[in-house]
Amino acid sequence: MRTDSAGLSVLSREECLRLLAVTPIGRLVFTHRALPAVQPVNFVLDGESVVVRTAIGSRLAAATRDAVVAFEIDDIDSRTGSGWSVTVLGRARGVTDPAEVARLATLPLLPWTPSAFDHFVTLPAEEVSGRRFN
């Protein structure tokens, strides 16, 4: 396994995608009013795209319209200090095609609250990187 300049193990794209497929919570990093914003979200991996479900009028939906965003997941054992982190970079887009919305609605992605979370945002994994640390 390769290591980076800090001595951390570099995860392959395949390993990063595997971790994305089994991790239910992540953080979406976007720009809101010209400032960086981070929002925890539940998500699902659909092929090589991160899919988030939100309300159509939410700041998350507005901020991710064809914007370059970052998405991050991690798992850290607080006792041992070991863990991993994966970051995805890409251009997020709101899904408007009715057939695609219907298909995404069948994915196992339920909203956290009973509000109308009927807007899907997809983030193709254009760049994926990950590190494992001990």
Q: Could you tell me if residue 58 is inside a domain?
A: yes
Q: Could you tell me if residue 85 is inside a domain?
A: yes
Q: Could you tell me if residue 22 is inside a domain?
A: yes
Q: Could you tell me if residue 33 is inside a domain?
A: yes
Q: Can you give the CATH number for the domain in which 43 is found?
A: 2.30.110.10
Helix (H/G/I), strand (E/B), else coil: 103: helix
Q: Could you tell me if residue 66 is inside a domain?
A: yes
Q: Could you tell me if residue 77 is inside a domain?
A: yes
Going by C-alpha positions, the residue among 124, 129, 130 that lies closest to residue 52 is 124
Tell me, what DSSP letter sits at residue 57?
T
Strands 49-54 and 44-46: antiparallel
Q: Could you tell me if residue 19 is inside a domain?
A: yes
Please check whether residue 14 is in contact with residue 45, taking contact to mean a CB–CB distance below 8 angstroms.
no
pLDDT given for residue 61 in this prediction: 77
Residue type (1 letter), 120: F
Tally of domains within the chain = 1
Tell me, what DSSP letter sits at residue 115?
S
Q: Could you tell me if residue 2 is inside a domain?
A: no
pLDDT per position as a tens digit, 65-85: 788 999 999 999 999 989 999
Please check whether residue 50 is in contact with residue 20, taking contact to mean a CB–CB distance below 8 angstroms.
yes
Going by C-alpha positions, the residue among 63, 42, 45 that lies closest to residue 53 is 42
Domain region containing 110: 9-126
pLDDT per position as a tens digit, 5-41: 777 899 999 999 999 999 999 999 998 888 899 999 9
pLDDT confidence bin for 104, thresholds 50/70/90:
very high
Going by C-alpha positions, the residue among 112, 128, 125 that lies closest to residue 45 is 125
